[in-house]
Amino acid sequence: DAEITQSPRHKITETGRQVTLACHQTWNHNNMFWYRQDLGHGLRLIHYSYGVHDTNKGEVSDGYSVSRSNTEDLPLTLESAASSQTSVYFCASSEKGAQPQHFGDGTRLSIL
């Protein structure tokens, strides 16, 4: 069955370090998304991509970057981790258009 996989599931790191969260989907979807989930805020869009070499900023993109070199992967990089970036991160993918998004199980990131 097709799926979307995030790794690692849990990570603890220190402020100022670079961190990369992986997202891999086997749906062959063009669209991929990164969200962060915080208590009281729901899910907020960080970055998204509509295809290879395409990336776009979302609502809360400061301090984050993505790159899309193939259809399956959209890694999220925190260039210099800050404590405010402690959160649960979700990756999602969808077909073109206003189609439902399929979500991974999330990465819980703690920045000390």
Give the shortest CB-7-to-other proteins separation in angstroms.
14
Reported as type and span, the H/E element at residue 20 is strand 19-25
CA-wise closest residue to 93 among 35, 19, 7: 35
Give the shortest CB-80-to-other proteins separation in angstroms.
26
d(CA 88, CA 99): 23
Binding site for other proteins (CB under 8 A): 31, 33, 35, 40-45, 48, 50, 58, 90, 92, 94, 96-106
State which residue, 10 or 17, has the beta carbon closest to other proteins: 10
